[in-house]
Chain A
């Protein structure tokens, strides 16, 4: 995390967007889905803002965050975790496709199969791009 203006703008943007959605849903212009979304966005914005304030004022916290961000083992673990998540998702979606089909939930079965195919396409495209890069 760098103490740049972009992070501050983004934090205020989430709060503003959340506030607008909340106001519109409170006025009855939007349904409850957007009301829930507004709460989430405001929470994200406030948490980011609190972290930014602490980052800019507390040098010990800033050093800790910078080290954690730069740390190569953390980056390695993050990449491995994403890879695991991808594998787990593909298997879960495959089981979901069959399970939902057997139980007669065709919409959910279709969603699982499409999302599994999409993930595999994303993987293949990423692999092609990375192969050229490295």
Chain B
């Protein structure tokens, strides 16, 4: 599953450490999410999307072929 976390985070001038702290996860988790190495649980996806003030579909792009 692809996502736009890095793009949105950079647009808003937030550092990985800051986002990680706000989401209650480690910086490595944010890094892995941005690189597409790790897919979040629905709770974390919801939390990140809510923080950005967007819907889950706007932040996370579901690719049926994956």
Contacts and interface: CB of A to CB of B under 8 A. Distances in A.
How many residues of B sit at the interface, in one of the four size bands?
10 to 19
Interface in A47-78: 67-68, 70-74, 76
Nearest to B26: A71
Interface stretch (B5-13, B37-45, B56-64): B37-45
Nearest to A64: B26
B7 to A, nearest CB: 20
A101 B20 CA distance: 53
Given A67-B21, A71-B24, A73-B32, 13 more contacts: A67-B25, A68-B26, A70-B24, A71-B29, A72-B25, A72-B29, A72-B40, A72-B41, A72-B44, A73-B26, A73-B29, A74-B26, A74-B29
